[in-house]
Structure 1
Amino acid sequence: MTMSRPRAPKSVYRIPVFGLYGLAADSGTAGYAHIESISSRAPANDWHISTHRHADLAQCILVLSGGGVLDIEGRAIAMDPPWIVWLPVGVVHGFRFIPGTEGLVLTVSDDVVDAAIQGSVDRDRLSFLAAEPRYAPLSAAADIGIDVRHLMTAVAREQDLPRTAGDTVVVATISLLLVAMLRLKTLDTLDRHLGTVQASEFRRFREYVERSFRTQPTMKETAKALGITTDRLHAITTKAVGKGPLAIQHERIVLECKRELIYTRKRISEIAFDCGFQDMAYFSRFFARHAGCAPRVFRQMHAEAGED
């Protein structure tokens, strides 16, 4: 059910309110989703989408080629593809596209966005992110772990060839798009804090830790694998997250041990060996120092919690 909204005085709102651009707003937009190419609508308007807003609709715009300028709340933002834009409900925006620009525009009603957010364990962060306009160059899928182009084209296929549970696909897609933008924001913050070169080195270090933590390489071996000095590695991680590289590696080892103690039936000695420990006594001390109790106690505590 869509609740009616009070009509604003004409003297206050002079900005056009549209459903899709150029079409009158429809108050019955619950459960709405539509995707189209930029080139399907922009040429008819001479590639200029005048400033307007949507009363009940949010949009995700993916600019793949061409580009242009995003006009948003009085600011002009140059778009150099690939570029992604998130527009929450009510944001005043317009576009001046370079003729021939290609990309996709996903338009969904605000209740679809709410469903995507509320179904996520990260709903607080996603809710905060979704409430504000976002625009940024689109990083490679390898950098954010999500292929945004594939997601958008997948929704377009769902629209062209309706299948069972298509609504679920759209909601899941919105969730993943918001996560992608959250990760883009994180990368941007890291780049601004560290600089592009050090941010790249920090990301490579985290990837290296993920691949190698079970063998517990020394920090000298880690730095050599990354092609930097141990001093530089320590300086980068300390600046990025306030802790040294060894502490980060230890945190990852402890996380894996906790997971295996909770979710597997492996013997504790087997878990220790799988995570690079040869001495059980040392493993017990290491785990207790980081987790606050011995491995056996940790497993028992979580086993009892699961029985409640």
Structure 2
Amino acid sequence: MTVLVIAEHDNNSIKGATLNTVTAAKAIGGDVHVLVAGANAGAAASAAAQIAGVAKVLHADGAQFADGLAENLAAQVLAVASAYSHIVFPATASGKNVAPRVAAKLDVAQISEITKVVSADTFERPIYAGNAIATVQSADAVKVLTVRGTAFDAAATTGGSAAVETVAATADAGTSAFVGREVTKSERPELTAAKIVVSGGRALGSAEKFNEVMSPLADKLGAALGASRAAVDAGYAPNDWQVGQTGKIVAPQLYVACGISGAIQHLAGMKDSKVIVAINKDPEAPIFQVADFGLEADLFTAVPELVKAL
């Protein structure tokens, strides 16, 4: 039994979600191989070889992989798939784009966002916005999985000494082309990787108030800024700040929820946080049910006082 992890990288270094995925792959059992498909991605392949627990790195290099087009990456995965019992992706935007294509071509069922490995063919995954956990057993010859990174610790980036094997790169599929990318630059930590996240909800009332109240707290804590879907839909915060079932899944060391009621869709995105602090003037707000520390107060008074105290 051999498990193939599809690495997420920037052609120079391995992204954090891959490390969590390697931990899940090790829990399945057998050897763990990592596929690095990129353009001039030798540095990323070398970094993958250093990850603790990785037995081999497959390195496919070609200009067609430069921008991570799903069609080209899926073709490369399929080219080497026959040697593996499990093909495992991070449950990121990229992984969710490629994994279904691979599963469909292999004519197997994908098992999405696993949070626990029970055995080599049995896994746990959340359903109903995380309110229930399904135990799924697969009889498919090849298991195609995506891994929710917040459920697994990151593998160590050093300690491994895997061999790097060059594999033939598949041709450009020709069915899509990279046009451009607009990247939001921020001095704050990236939301899904931040150790501290400060989130605001609809109670803030406007984009101006969101920035006025939440930014000083995030700056004091060195935190990433997040928002509930209601705040995003109302235009108080950009889409890439949304935390929840239809946004980003986070599990920081500290999550501070200000003016967020705690709908199940939002809780699904942050309830695995190590310490949850809730500030809300509604004593019946569901967020208090999952909070480690709750403050029943007006956020417009409490948050500035907290900033001063820090």
What's the TM-score, normalizing by structure 1?
0.27
* Higher relative contact order (CA closer than 8 Å, sequence separation 6+): 2
Structure (1 or 2) with the larger CA radius of gyration: 1
Which one has the bigger helix percentage? Answer: 1
What's the TM-score, normalizing by structure 2?
0.27
